[in-house]
Every structure is written in C-alpha cells, then in structure tokens.
Structure 1
Amino acid sequence: MMKTFDSSLSRRQFLGSTAVTVLFASTPDALARSISGRLPWSPFAANPPTAVRPGPWLFFTHDEAVTVEAIVDRLIPADDLSVGGKDAGCAVFIDRQLAGFFGSAERLYMKGPFTKGTPQQGLQSPVLPTERYRAGLALLNEYCRNTHAGKSFVELGAQEQDEALQGLEQGSVNLGGSDGKAFFELVLQNAMEGFFADPIYGGNKDMASWKMIGFPGARYDYRDFVTRHNERYPLPPVSIMGRADWGGKG
C-alpha cells in the first residue's frame, strides 16, 4: 500500500504497488465464508458469493454516494490505461459491502478491550464500518464547506480534492474528533478491493483492472501455459460468473 497519497504519481506506479497485494487478498465476502451443517463436511456447503445486480444504492444516500464516487475517482483516476474508480464500480462495491455483513462487522470479534495496536495488528475499534463511513463523509463535507466557501467535496476542483485527501491521510485535517486518517485508510483499502476484486462483487466493471495488468481471473485450466515462462497470457480474463461470450456459463 502506498505510504503517501500523491496526485503526481502515475497510475502505473500506484497500481503496480497495490495490484499484487489486493488480488491475492480475499474480499470481505470471501474471507467470511462459513461452513453450514454438521460434520462431516461436504462439497458446496459454504456460502457462495452472490452476484451484485444493478440498482439503487443500498447503504449510501445520494449525497454520500456522489461523494464516494468523487473520492474513488481521485484515488484511481482515469487515464490511457483504464477507467477511473467511479466507472470501474468502486463506489457500488463499497455500497454493497457496507449493506452486508462487512458493514456491521457481524463476523468479526467486536468486544473490548480496544487498545491502539501496532500497524501490523490493524485497526482496533468498536466503530463499525457503516458508522465510520457515515460520519466520515459528513465530516469531510463539513470540513470542505468550512474551508472552501461553502463548497462540498464534489464541488471542489481536482487539486483541492487531492489536498483534502492528503490532509486526511496525513492526519492534518480535523474531522471534529473523528479519526480522519482511519477513515482515509478504510476508503483507500475498499477502493482498491473494488477495483481489483472479481466483478461479481460490483466493482472491476468489465474486468478493466484485470485486462490492464494481464491477470487471467478465474480460469480453471492453465496446463497449456505452465511451461511458457516470460510470456504474456493471451486469453481474456474470466470472472467467477464466467464470460458474457460463453452465454453466461462459467
């Protein structure tokens, strides 16, 4: 993960430093699979992923949604390599995750005591992801209005948006007692997950990020390519859901 948000960094530098980490880190849904029934275990007893369908926002209000879309577009701006975070569906991914068990942390241990852990231990807090997003977005817009003549985050120019995000990351933006740095890190992590995760979860629209980095996706058979080293994989990526040109069958 990048240490400092810098709008001057190229997309290739940004994605090159994050793609491997996120691709091999499961999404919250994948991490939280549970085995149903009693022993002995049987195949297909786990909770399968449910494909995200187009539709209205499930967690975000309209104002929250457009703010998140603006944020992910600054974290992952569009360029000649691929679409930006908004068009890739990162905000949709985050919305659906917050509307599910990730948002309520129902499959995480959430009892105290809560102490400040090391960076390797991650965030330790009783604040739910839904609460952190709702408060963080509201306080970010309040900060922007107070410092930019009444303009919300989405009304700012790209440079001003970057400065606000840099302030959150560095801890110099005061969100009224809320942990702005933790909010930034959560949004950044979720944006990367939405950009690189399987499209079944609502992000990575049209497998844009996979096409960009040459990731083959969920193909079941690589025997013809095992010994072909230092050669770009020639076939298009495949989602868990399959490909549209397969008639919807994976």
Structure 2
Amino acid sequence: MTRSTPFRPSRRGFLSSTGMTLLVASIAGAKAAEHSGTLPWKPFAALPPQPLPGGRWYVFTPDEARMVEAIVDRLIPADDLSIGGKEAGCATFIDRQLAGSYGSSERLYTQGPFLPGLPTQGYQGAEAPVARYRAGLAALAQHVRAQFAGKAFADLAPTDQDKVLGDFDAGKVAYPAAAGFFNLLLQNTMEGFFADPIYGGNKDMAGWKLLGFPGARYDYRDYVTAHNQPFPLPPLSIAGRPEWKVGSK
C-alpha cells in the first residue's frame, strides 16, 4: 500500500483478524491452564438430572392429567410385549418435563419474527410447550364434549378415543393447531416411554426391555465383539436399579 492509497478496511479482513485474535487468546488461555496445573474444565460442570418427587402433578390439573393418561394409553396401548403408556408413566414424564426448562422454552430463542417453517423444522411459533398443552387439551376436551354428548375423553370407548386422536392428527377439527398438538403429544409420549426412568417415565425400564437396550452402563468392553447376540445383563438407569439398596456400615 502506497501513501497515496487510502486505507479501506474490509468486513472480511475485520472478521479474519478478529477470528485470529480470539484463536490466539484461547490458545494462550489453554496453555496457561496447562502450565498452572489446573484443567480448563470442571468435572460435572453440566447440569445433572434433577428428579422430582412423585405423588403429585406439577403442571397438569387433575382433569388434564386424566385426559393425558388416557391419551398416552391409546398412543402406546398395552399388549403381550409390554405395558401401556399410562402404566409406563408417560403422562408423569410429560408433566415433569413441562415443569422444567422444556415447558417454558427458557433455553430456546423464542423471539420473533415468526414465519411458517418447513415440516422438517418443527414448531416455529411463539408459545412454549406449557401453553401449547393448555390450549391443545382444552380444544380436545371441547371437541369431545361437542361430539359425544358432554363426555370426557377418558370416558370414551377406545375406538372413539382413537377416532378423536385420528381427527386431531389429520387436522379435521375446528382447532387450527390440532395436527401440531397431536405431533407434540406423540413425540413426548415416545420420549416418556424410552427415556431414562429418572425422568418419571419408562417404569421398570419397560421400554428398554422391549428393545433390548442396556441403558446407562459405563463399560461395554467385554461385549463389543459379541455381534448379533442379546446383551446378557439387565438395563441400568442413571439412578441405578430399583432393587439396589444402599446400606450403612
């Protein structure tokens, strides 16, 4: 650059120089931590699971809880292979998830603009899951009362329950968000059936036993070469197994 050539900083040059500065600073910080004898991270720094005590509903009203228990039992009905969604605790799982950060979307960006998304992008609206459940369950209850002479969803025959859920899935009801709410229910029910039991669902690890999933075991080195063979040990939760007892010495 000659003296007569004016200096015009470019955006690309600024970003490149800024990136190099941050990279050098991060390397220096890591080196300092290495030389100081301390790790650049702390064990258990991530948020561990926080189990909630049972015996109560945290978000659902009694009527909502009864409805959700009936719904999850139709989405995952009991058969000769496994227990159903209600007995597996899927409604409890959903309630406890709604009581946490998931229910309020506090870990997600929820500001506008809100635009229609692609089917692969999931929900793109402003409402958090708790609000979606409140509105969706109210719409479902109103639809059932109008179609079945004032009855509640839990009191319908299984075939009628399946028809109601099928109409919501297909968006054949007056509630505009019916299909999206059904998909949310289905997703959360499946999560409750297969998630770690520490979160309230998957009672007795029924979902894992159905799949042959070993759970949260630490070491599989003795079994990595046992191809196409069932895993010989029972599944293990993050919290251990129900029959384990901690004794005092």
Q: Is the TM-score greater than 0.5?
A: yes
Given residue 65 of structure 1, which amino acid in structure 2 is its aligned partner?
A
Given residue 41 of structure 1, which amino acid in structure 2 is its aligned partner?
W
Aligned to 1:33: none
Q: Gaps (5+ residues) in structure 2?
A: 1-38
The runs of at least 4 aligned residues of structure 1 exceeding 3 Å deviation read none
1:198 to 196, 199, 203: 196
Aligned to 2:42: 42
Superposed counterparts of 1:61-100, under 5 Å: 61-100=61-100
Q: Gaps (5+ residues) in structure 1?
A: 1-38
Aligned to 1:11: none
Given residue 109 of structure 1, which amino acid in structure 2 is its aligned partner?
Y
1:241 to 239, 242, 245: 239
Measured after TM superposition, the shift of residue 248 of structure 1 is 5.4
Q: Which has the higher contact order (CA 8 A, sep 6+)?
A: 1
Aligned to 1:113: 113
Counterpart check, 1:57 vs 2:43: no
Superposed counterparts of 1:140-219, under 5 Å: 140-175=140-175, 178-219=176-217
Measured after TM superposition, the shift of residue 221 of structure 1 is 1.2
Do the aligned partners of 1:53 and 1:202 also contact (CA within 8 Å) in 2?
Answer: no
Do the aligned partners of 1:58 and 1:96 also contact (CA within 8 Å) in 2?
Answer: yes
Given residue 149 of structure 1, which amino acid in structure 2 is its aligned partner?
A
Measured after TM superposition, the shift of residue 151 of structure 1 is 1.0
Given residue 191 of structure 2, which amino acid in structure 1 is its aligned partner?
E
Measured after TM superposition, the shift of residue 72 of structure 1 is 0.2
Q: What is the distance in 1 between the residues matched to 2:130 and 2:180?
A: 13
What is the aligned-residue RMSD (CA, Å)?
Answer: 1.4
Measured after TM superposition, the shift of residue 93 of structure 1 is 0.4
Change (3 A) 1:89 1:248: farther
Aligned to 1:136: 136
Q: What is the distance in 2 between the residues matched to 1:244 and 1:139?
A: 39
Q: Secondary structure at the match of 1:133?
A: helix
Do the aligned partners of 1:242 and 1:248 also contact (CA within 8 Å) in 2?
Answer: no
- Give the aligned length: 209
The structure with the larger Rg is 2
Q: What is the distance in 1 between the residues matched to 2:243 and 2:159?
A: 41
Given residue 88 of structure 1, which amino acid in structure 2 is its aligned partner?
A
Q: What is the CA deviation profile of residues 121-152 of structure 1, one whole-angstrom value per residue up to 9, with x for unaligned ones? A: 11100011111101111111110110111111
Q: TM-score, normalised by structure 2?
A: 0.81
Q: What is the distance in 2 between the residues matched to 1:199 and 1:244?
A: 10
Change (3 A) 1:248 1:95: farther
Given residue 139 of structure 1, which amino acid in structure 2 is its aligned partner?
A
Q: What is the CA deviation profile of residues 177-230 of structure 1, one whole-angstrom value per residue up to 9, with x for unaligned ones? A: x40111100010000000000000000011011011100000111111111111
Given residue 133 of structure 1, which amino acid in structure 2 is its aligned partner?
Y
2:223 to 204, 222, 225: 225
Do the aligned partners of 1:70 and 1:154 also contact (CA within 8 Å) in 2?
Answer: yes
Q: Out of 236-245 and 159-168, give the one that drifted further.
A: 236-245
Q: Secondary structure at the match of 2:151?
A: coil
Q: Secondary structure at the match of 2:95?
A: helix
